[in-house]
Amino acid sequence: MKRLFLPLIFIIGLLFSPMASASDFPLKEPMGGKTFGHSVKSIGDGVYVFRWWVYRNIFIVTDEGVIVTDPLNAKVANLLRTEIRKITDKPVKYVVYSHNHHDHISGGQIFKDEGATFVGHKNIVKELADHPAPLTPLPDVTFDNNYTVTLGNRTLELSYFGPNHGDSMAVMRLPKEKILFIVDIVTPRRVAFRDMPDFWPDEWIRSLKEIEQMDFDYVISAHGPETEPAIDPASVVKDQRVYLEDLMAAVKKALDSGTHSPDALRKTVKLPKYKDWRYYNEWLPMNIERVWAYYHMGY
């Protein structure tokens, strides 16, 4: 199997060394108008990971221009544009949306004004029409199941796996490096986000099983504090799936044994295997109640 082109020593450093940052990167939202930290990490051959607060996106610099993913919000899009200009004077040609949620795709109008083409799954059009966001252009190019963005000597492959987190999620693959950029449905070493808003647990698991069959060696996820690596091994997709399966099995077992109250489930269901994952104590009870709703109420 062809491995990532970067030298092994560089990958090891990438996985375990702190990310260079423009300022100290806050793990909690700052108060009093302080500025969120941001940083840029080159992972080779024109591919960069951009981080703001606990969010990440990627951008790809080619000999014909730049491909940008999720602009996050208007302020961050300006930061991102500034960082890109430090690297290249080539224009941003494409902005690729991962899915419809505003915390990832808002603010891209700055790139639209400069002529960028916006790409996203076809379902984003209706979702943004129903819940419009300021300065968030609708996609110019939409796709159904698969689409490839080609610019200069680079390609970015987009794949849709059906509903999982919303119904417009695109998993992005860099075929040369065998890297996936995955937003929200894989967050390494962290339990699921709070009460799993707009997540369908069973469809989430199904999607992850299908993603595991893709040809990839590494994952860049869209969330994580600065202390987390920019790149993880492919195994984090399976880790996320197994956590969800364990969560659903534990809640179902408790329900079958006669514990039907969500309050009781929150107190009694434990997953000690994941006690070292981030937000285990804070968010596991919310994860449990979401799965209770899936079994008890059918949503």
Residue ranges per domain, the chain? 8-234
Non-local CB neighbours of 42 within 8 Å, separated by 6+ positions: 48
- Tokens at residue 26, please? 């806050």
Confidence at residue 228, expressed as pLDDT on a 0 to 100 scale: 86
Question: 55-62 and 47-52 as β-strands: parallel, antiparallel, unpaired?
Answer: antiparallel
Q: Which residues of the chain fall below pLDDT 50? A: 1-34
- C-beta contacts of 45-50 below 8 A and 24+ residues apart: 45/5, 45/176, 45/177, 46/154, 47/174, 47/177, 47/179, 48/87, 49/220, 49/230, 49/231, 50/80, 50/83
Rounded to a whole number, what is the distance in angstroms from the first to the last CA of the chain?
41
Nearest to 69 by CA among 27, 107, 14: 107
- Tokens at residue 53, please? 């607060």
Confidence at residue 182, expressed as pLDDT on a 0 to 100 scale: 98
Nearest to 181 by CA among 242, 109, 104: 104
Sheet with 218-221, edge to edge strand ranges: 146-151, 154-160, 170-174, 179-182, 218-221, 232-233
Q: What is the CATH number of domain 8-234?
A: 3.60.15.10
Confidence at residue 235, expressed as pLDDT on a 0 to 100 scale: 98
Non-local CB neighbours of 235 within 8 Å, separated by 6+ positions: none
Confidence at residue 225, expressed as pLDDT on a 0 to 100 scale: 86
Non-local CB neighbours of 99 within 8 Å, separated by 6+ positions: 105, 121, 124, 165, 166, 168, 169, 170, 183, 184
The tokens 């492919």 sit on which residue?
Answer: 234
Confidence at residue 183, expressed as pLDDT on a 0 to 100 scale: 98
Confidence at residue 227, expressed as pLDDT on a 0 to 100 scale: 86
How far apart, in Å, are the Cα atoms of 230 and each of 11, 49, 99, 275? 10, 7, 21, 23
- Tokens at residue 83, please? 């960082």
CA 164, 225, 156, 95 torsion: positive or negative? positive
**C-alpha span between 261 and 288 (Å, rounded):** 11
Confidence at residue 109, expressed as pLDDT on a 0 to 100 scale: 96
Question: 65-69 and 92-96 as β-strands: parallel, antiparallel, unpaired?
Answer: parallel
Confidence at residue 13, expressed as pLDDT on a 0 to 100 scale: 44
Confidence at residue 61, expressed as pLDDT on a 0 to 100 scale: 98
